Amino acid sequence: MPPLIALPGTLLDERSLAPLLQALGLPHRTLLLGEAETLAEEVQRLAALAIEPTIWLGHSLGGIVALHLAARHPGTVAALVLLAANARPSPAGGAARRQAQWQLAHSQGLRALAAAKLAPGYDLAADDPLQTSLAEQAQAVGLHRFERQLRYADQRPGLLSPRLTLHCPLVALSGGQDRLCPPLQSEEITGLSTASRHTSLPDGGHLFALQQPLWTAAQVQDFVGGLHPSTP
């Protein structure tokens, strides 16, 4: 079985994927995005950490970065597991929205940003216990990494036109109620590889991997098991 490296999304740390990874029960490493100055440099950094073809599991921005890793360094990728990701370029208005997030985080702190922007974007109720976890994760990621993560999101080129061809198997999982990365965007990803599939959790939101880890783990286990079928 290839090694597995997990990449959490923007302002999320290993806690956002821990229930899923625990349910999977596979050896893994979790790496936070935001070490390098640019997206290209971050992809290069990650590629250098893969000493053999690796299963890259990425959520949100983590999935986007994993896609670009597969595009630029295909030899480092055995397979992709993409959770609430997309292959589109930064949308019109995206840079302005991220600049507003940065200004709020810089002036009022990352906890305030998590409460005012992240939680509502993830459709979390005011009394949802995940509100506290989001604030703590954002604080742990820190402003320095956050600034770079915003940069990666701004710098990403689209992979759909012209369409990139990936030579690795991939599974794209989505939440049916995710307003940030709706199922259509995961369906688009499947067009990048002939060995691909998309499955959506009808009532799932952007954090479906955290909120429903057992369902997510079952989908990932089924996919990973098909990479190296057991011999009778």
Q: Is the pLDDT reported for residue 189 higher than 60?
A: yes
> Residue 28 falls within a domain, yes or no?
yes
Q: Is the pLDDT reported for residue 134 higher than 50?
A: yes
pLDDT in tens, 150-178: 999 999 999 999 999 999 999 999 999 99
> Residue 124 falls within a domain, yes or no?
yes
> Residue 192 falls within a domain, yes or no?
yes
Asked if residue 125 and residue 99 are part of one domain, the reply reads: yes
Q: What is the mean pLDDT of the chain?
A: 95
What proportion of the chain, given as a percentage, has pLDDT over 90?
A: 92
The CA distance from 121 to 132, in Å, is 15
Number of domains in the chain: 2
> Residue 232 falls within a domain, yes or no?
no
pLDDT in tens, 57-115: 999 999 999 999 999 999 999 999 999 999 999 988 888 999 999 999 999 999 999 99
Asked if residue 117 and residue 59 are part of one domain, the reply reads: no
What is the predicted pLDDT for the residue at 53? Answer: 96
Residue the block writes with tokens 């100055």: 37
Asked if residue 106 and residue 208 are part of one domain, the reply reads: no
Asked if residue 12 and residue 72 are part of one domain, the reply reads: yes
> Residue 165 falls within a domain, yes or no?
yes
Asked if residue 144 and residue 46 are part of one domain, the reply reads: no
Instruction: Residue 35: give its domain's CATH number.
Output: 3.40.50.1820
The CA distance from 62 to 33, in Å, is 7
> Residue 26 falls within a domain, yes or no?
yes
What is the predicted pLDDT for the residue at 94? Answer: 86
> Residue 200 falls within a domain, yes or no?
yes
> Which of these ranges, 24-28, 89-93, 147-151, 198-202, has the smallest mean pLDDT?
89-93
Asked if residue 84 and residue 169 are part of one domain, the reply reads: yes
> By residue range, what is the domain housing residue 84?
4-89+158-227
Asked if residue 77 and residue 28 are part of one domain, the reply reads: yes
Q: Is the pLDDT reported for residue 232 higher than 60?
A: no
> Residue 37 falls within a domain, yes or no?
yes
DSSP for the chain, please give it: ---EEEE--TT--GGGTHHHHHHHT--EEE--S-SSSSHHHHHHHHHHH-SS-EEEEEETHHHHHHHHHHHH-GGGEEEEEEES---PPPPTTHHHHHHHHHHHHHHH-HHHHIIIIIHHHTT--TT-THHHHHHHHHHHHHHHHHHHHHHHHHHPPPSBTTBP---S-EEEEEETT-SSS-HHHHHHHGGG-SSEEEEEETT--TTHHHHSHHHHHHHHHHHHHHHSPPP-
What is the predicted pLDDT for the residue at 147? Answer: 97
Q: Which residue, of 109, 135, 154, is where some domain finishes?
A: 154
Asked if residue 148 and residue 105 are part of one domain, the reply reads: yes
Asked if residue 110 and residue 11 are part of one domain, the reply reads: no
Asked if residue 162 and residue 83 are part of one domain, the reply reads: yes
Confidence of residue 231 (pLDDT cuts 50, 70, 90): very low
Asked if residue 77 and residue 14 are part of one domain, the reply reads: yes
Q: Is the pLDDT reported for residue 230 higher than 70?
A: no
Confidence of residue 139 (pLDDT cuts 50, 70, 90): very high
